[in-house]
Amino acid sequence: MDPIVNKLSAVLAIPFLVLSASVASPHKDTHFVEPKLYIARGGNITPQVALTLDACSGQTDMRMLNALVENHIPATIFVTGRWLKHNAHSVAIMKAHPDLFELENHGLNHIPAIDNQPTMFGLKTAGSLAAIRTEIEGGANAMTAATLTKPAWYRDATARYSDDAITLVHQMGYRVAGYSLNADVGASLLAGQVEKRISAAKDGDVIIAHVNQPTRVAGEGVVKGILALKQKGFHFARLEDVQESEQPARPGV
């Protein structure tokens, strides 16, 4: 996370060590929340991370998907209804490997769960709690239509939320899927930058990257980074497989 965000963080520990950082926005009297998430540490012998990949819209980066299958690396994939419509082949591959892929809710149309400001990073926000509910329910319904397992986690577009959106997500029975290591910054970084970020992951990190940008070089960096972690002896865990941890966050986080 950006050091500026860290300075503004209001830390609240909840199961799975989700730390909610309250961040000032450019709009008067509004702010958004950027949840931070860690998983239980694996320890020095077998450190572990959770690889989470967003499938926002568009197509599938088969470099990434093939590498995960070939190297037997588990991942949690956050899918939107928009992405599901156009990626039946990729979904079939994920379904064929239930030991590797956990699919979770990324919404229907990739809309930020924010009701107190009009845009977030150039994306139009939901604008109301009713619209946020529709986005979440629509994503879940799209997953049901694709015969996927009922989701337990929700991550919105931009992974930022207004306060009452966080409350609504919890009321709807979801855990909010934050992260601790932003690997590709929306698939905008160069391959070498992404590889360096991932290969420097720490025990207990939750990594976020994007699997829906096959034409961008960031995907190459994701593959190289996760293979570097595997070479170091890291274990990859899906969010659904990790036990709750009572360990505090690492010093300085």
Ranges of each domain in the chain: 40-241
- Our CA angle for 120, 125, 129, nearest 5°, is 135
> How confident is the model at residue 31, as a pLDDT?
78
Q: What is the pTM of this model?
A: 0.86
Sign of the Cα pseudo-torsion (218, 213, 149, 67, in order):
negative
Q: What count of residues does the chain have? A: 253
Residue with tokens 């190459």: 220
Q: What is the pLDDT along the chain (253 residues), one digit of tens a residue?
A: 343 333 323 322 233 444 344 444 444 456 789 999 999 999 999 999 999 999 999 999 999 999 999 999 999 999 999 999 999 999 999 999 999 999 999 999 999 999 999 999 889 999 999 999 999 999 999 999 999 999 999 999 999 999 999 999 999 999 999 999 999 999 999 999 999 999 999 999 999 999 999 999 999 999 999 999 999 999 999 999 975 443 434 433 3
Residue with tokens 């030991």: 99
**Strand boundaries in the chain, DSSP class E:** 13-14, 18-24, 31-37, 48-55, 75-79, 101-105, 119-120, 123-124, 153-154, 175-176, 181-182, 206-210, 235-237
Contacts of 202 (CB under 8 A, 6+ apart): 47, 49, 181, 250
Q: Return the structure tokens found at 233.
A: 């002896």
- Our CA angle for 158, 99, 73, nearest 5°, is 65
- Our CA angle for 228, 47, 65, nearest 5°, is 45
> How confident is the model at residue 243, as a pLDDT?
55
Distance, CA of 61 to CA of 244 (rounded, Å): 31
Q: How many CB atoms lie within 10 A of CB 188?
A: 12
- Homologous superfamily (CATH) of 40-241 is Glycoside hydrolase/deacetylase (3.20.20.370)
